[in-house]
Structure 1
Amino acid sequence: MMARHSRIIGLGAYRPRRSVGNAEIASRLGLSEDWIVKRSGIRHRGYAGPDEPLSMMAREAAAKALADAGLDPARIGAVVVATVTHLSQMPSLASQVAHELGAVNAAAFDMLAACAGFPYALAVASDLVKAGTADHALIIGAERMTDIVDPDDAATAFLFADGAGAVVVGPSERPGIGPVAWGCDGSRADAVGMTGHWRPELHGDPSVPWPRLGMIGWRVYRWARDDLATAARRAIEAAGLAPGDLDALIPHQANLLIIDELARQLGLRDGAVVARDIAESGNTSAASIPMAMERLLAAGEVTSGMTALTIGFGSGLAYAGQVIEIP
């Protein structure tokens, strides 16, 4: 049998209608706007309104990706949603989105790998397509981080935001998605996680706090500074390339300091594009990589056929990355 490869054939994103500047955040947290920019690179972030539930954002991003691919939803063989903010354990968000889109022939499941969720899901989708298990797979990263972030926590409230991004993965005659380099450093699992468990009785009980996202920022930064470039080089080498061969770097939009440090350590060639969507979108966890890719394409900073490294990392500490061809 001839080898079958995979590639991204469609891309879409949904950005909340409300954009929140640093002035609103800073005044509530007792911080300065300049401090937020220096610590994170963020100037604005999207907050979803009551009429923008997680399912709606995921569906809208997915519909745009399907339209971009020119693909009927009935031809999708698998729908995978990467998210940590679907506040019901079952049924999956993927099953709801698949139904609303009309992906009647698709398997559907959610993937929980936090900010590494998109590259994890992309690796699974790529293998499904290459193996022939699905001819086409729809991958969605969708988050309403405002549902789980404490608005009064100065360590997290200025960082996280809402949004969704999606890609369609299909078969290809040449590799368009490289081998994944992934892993998990469980020794640092307490660096990012939840402060408790969601239970129905929490609603309306003021004596029991609603579980929120908690983060020890310096532990995350040190891991990214010390280990992220190593994982990135593994992904680049697995694709048979060197860092100087990349046209673009599209990492998880965690923090501008981390993004710039990764780019520096990799030693990208002059003119290589680095995604910095965090400045206008904030940290959208599993949604950040496809949203950043969509912004680069819309702005003309990257074009179809370019080679880019996508890499994410988050709670666990889980991480994953692969070299892709820009759709």
Structure 2
Amino acid sequence: MSFGHYQPVRLVTNDELSAALGTSDAWITERVGVRTRHLAAPGESVADMATAAAGDALRRAGRTASDVDLVIVATCTTFDRMPGVAAQVAERLGIAEPGVFDLNAACSGFSYALAAADHAIRAGASQRAIVVGVDKMSDFLDWTDRSTCVIFGDGAGAALVEAADGIDRIGGIGPVVWGSNPAKGQSITLGSPGPHSLPATFRQEGAAVYRWATTALAPIARKACAQAGIDPGDLGGIVTHQANTRIIAALARDIGARDAVVATDVAESGNTSAASIPLALSKLLERREIPAGAPVLLFGFGAGLTYAGQVITCP
């Protein structure tokens, strides 16, 4: 398994947003822990970012387009309905006749997509898959609402997943633990423009989502560790959805990790939705902060309310 990522060139600081929103760097940092975020250019699409991240993962693995037979893209912010983003990525990279599909599990999307690729490979339906998490949240934000627009950024992360002999081999993927709480699904919404839909803006019940994330999710994350045969205290890394620093810190504490490297890319990238887990992990691997062979918990959660987690062996 190999990871890659992409972030847009434009870097937006808290000071830049504060000038327009009547707030301050201190207020934003204290509230969500975000200092900077990357925002896509107006003409830069979800497919553009996904292709760049997928290409980066391929290069880092030393593979070419001809080695890939499946492309899965997790996103909730594409305006295109047909062709899907996965098909666009395959075409742009020159991947001939792969299986392609998109899925939408919001901020849990990458963990869902990684599990789907793992299942396809274990079933013999694929030998080598590209899995991408990508979102362009900036298209759906109300840039006058300081309670939401300061949280998010744009970007993409990707993994190249290959057939392997179980989780003990470097690059292994453990069993997924996934589910949802649909009764609270309206706590986070994102609508597309149109006569019969919500406005094209993001909305969330922040306090309710925070309570759910900090009270209900740690036992599920521990279950993912148990399914992989890993004691949480032995984790080498924890990469949760990069929602905000307070949720990340609470989850890492309650999961019971001792010496794990905990990803906090939200501080420099903001909440990048489905991109946040592979983006954060790719950066950690690039900096060699987690040793090869160490168990790493990936744990996504978000709108739906969905969650999904699995332990991988660090490549």
Same fold (TM over 0.5): yes
TM-score for the superposition, normalised by structure 2: 0.95
CA drift at 1:294: 1.1
Distance (Å, rounded) in 1 between the aligned partners of 2:49 and 2:273: 14
Gaps of 5+ in 2: none
Is contact 1:45–1:282 with CA below 8 Å preserved after alignment? yes
SS state of the match for residue 155, structure 1? helix
Give the conservation status (yes or no) of the 8 Å contact 1:78–1:138: yes
Aligned residues of 1:115 and 1:314 also touching (Cα < 8 A): yes
Identity of counterpart residues, as a percentage? 45
Cα contact 1:225–1:261 (8 A) shared by 2: yes
1:260 corresponds in structure 2 to 249
Judge conservation of contact 1:178–1:324 (CA < 8 Å) in 2.
Answer: yes
Residues 155 and 215 of structure 1 are in contact (CA less than 8 Å); yes or no, is this contact kept in structure 2?
no
Query: C-alpha displacement at 1:29, in angstroms?
Result: 2.1
Say yes or no: does 1:231 pair with 2:220: yes
Note if 1:140 corresponds to 2:132: yes
**1:174-189 pair list within 5 angstroms:** 174-175=166-167, 176-189=172-185
- Asked if 1:28 is matched to 2:20, the reply is yes
Amino acid of the residue matched to residue 104 of structure 2? L
**Secondary structure at 1:254's aligned position in 2?**
coil
- For residue 257 of structure 1, give the secondary structure of its aligned residue in structure 2: helix
Task: Compute the displacement of 1:52 (Å).
Answer: 2.8
Instruction: Please list, as runs of the form range in 1=range in 2, the aligned pairs for 1:84-233 lying within 5 A after superposition.
Output: 84-175=76-167, 176-194=172-190, 196-199=191-194, 210-233=199-222
Contact 2:239 2:296 in 1 (8 A): yes
Please tell me whether the aligned partners of residues 137 and 169 of structure 1 are also in contact (alpha carbons under 8 angstroms).
yes
Provide the residue aligned with 1:286 in structure 2.
274
2:61 pairs with 1:69: yes
Contact 2:107–2:303 (8 Å) recurs in 1: yes
Question: How many angstroms does 1:51 deviate by?
Answer: 4.6
Q: Is the 8 A contact 2:142 2:149 kept in 1?
A: yes
Q: Is the 8 A contact 1:74 1:105 kept in 2?
A: no
Task: State the distance in 2 between where 1:240 and 1:303 align.
Answer: 19
Q: Number of aligned pairs?
A: 311
The answer as to 2:304 corresponding to 1:312 is no
What SS does the aligned partner of 2:203 have?
strand
Map Cα deviations across residues 109-153 of structure 1 (whole Å, 9 max, x no partner): 101000000000000000111111000111001111100111112
Task: Give CA deviations for 1:163-212 in whole Å, capped at 9, x if unaligned.
Answer: 00000110112321000011010111111112x4433x79xxxxx98421
Instruction: Choose 37-46 or 297-306, whichever is displaced more.
Output: 297-306
For 1:243, the aligned partner's letter is P
Task: Verify the 8 A CA contact 1:141 1:165 in the aligned structure 2.
Answer: yes
Instruction: Give, in whole Å, the separation in 2 of the partners of 1:198 and 1:209.
Output: 7
Question: Within the alignment, does 1:78 sit opposite 2:70 as a pair?
Answer: yes
C-alpha contact 1:75 1:105 (8 A) present in aligned 2: no
**2:7 alignment counterpart:** 15
1:11 aligned partner, one-letter code = F
Counterpart of 1:266, as a letter, is I
Is the counterpart of residue 303 in structure 1 residue 291 in structure 2?
Answer: yes
CA contact (8 A) 2:11 2:38 kept: yes
Please state whether the residue corresponding to 1:261 is helix, strand or coil. Answer: helix
- SS of the equivalent of 1:13 reads strand
**Residues 20-59 of structure 1 mapped to structure 2, 5 A cutoff:** 20-59=12-51
> Over aligned residues, Cα RMSD in angstroms?
1.5
* CA displacement at 1:155 relative to structure 2: 2.0
Give the 3-state SS of the residue equivalent to 1:34 in structure 2: helix
SS in 1 for 2:88: helix
Deviations 1:229-258 (A, max 9, x none): 011011000001111010010001001000
What's the counterpart of residue 321 of structure 1?
309
Q: Is the 8 A contact 2:47 2:89 kept in 1?
A: yes
CA contact (8 A) 1:313 1:320 kept: yes
Give the C-alpha shift of residue 54 in structure 1: 1.6
Which residue of structure 2 aligns with residue 274 of structure 1?
262
C-alpha contact (below 8 Å) 2:189/2:202 kept by paired residues: yes
Q: Which 4+ residue blocks in structure 1 deviate beyond 4 angstroms?
A: none
Q: Distance in 2 between matches of 1:69 and 1:197?
A: 36
Cα pair 2:192 2:198 within 8 Å, conserved: no
Distance in 1 (alpha carbons) for counterparts of 2:112 and 2:179: 10
Asked if residue 250 in structure 1 is aligned to residue 239 in structure 2, the reply is: yes
How far 1:80 moved relative to its partner? 0.5
Q: Secondary structure at the match of 1:143?
A: strand
SS of match in other structure, 1:156: helix
Q: Distance in 2 between matches of 1:155 and 1:231?
A: 28
Q: Is the CA contact 1:179–1:239 (under 8 Å) kept in the aligned structure 2?
A: yes
Residue 3 of structure 2 contacts residue 158 of structure 2 at CA under 8 Å; is this kept in 1? yes
